[in-house]
Amino acid sequence: MIILDTNVISALMADTREVVAWAMALGEQPVTTAITKAELLYGIEQLPDGGRKRGYRARSADALALVHDILPVTAHSAEAYAAIRAQRQHDGRPITTADAMIAAIARQTGAGLATRNVKDFEGLGLRLVDPWNHTI
């Protein structure tokens, strides 16, 4: 299983060539997290009403339709989140709340994480994939 980070879903919405090609070559249907969905919808809700906002809503719905499931925050991922945030704080490498929650869900499910921001998630014991560079 592979989780798509917010920047990957955004790239699919923008029809970014290399990310679309990577997604088409996946041998499995990816998933994402409720955190990513919330980040996308928040960004759209900040836009003024009008055609641009409607367009982003439609593209986000299309991109989210590509995923097999939207994984929730569970009691177990909440525990992993606390450990990740504490570890990163202790190491002097703070991590955002959203990234720590996404990492926690990936850790608890054993899923890989596709993201352009690989450095934000390094050292957390996750299998990381950069769709822009097709690296693991």
- Residue ranges for the known binding site for Mg(2+) are 5, 99
CB 107 within 8 A of CB 67: no
CA atoms of 69 and 31, how far apart (whole Å): 5
112 φ, ψ to 5°? -75, 165
18 φ, ψ to 5°? -65, -30
Angular region, 130: left φ>0, alpha ψ -120 to 50, beta rest: beta
- Indicate the annotated binding residues: 5, 99
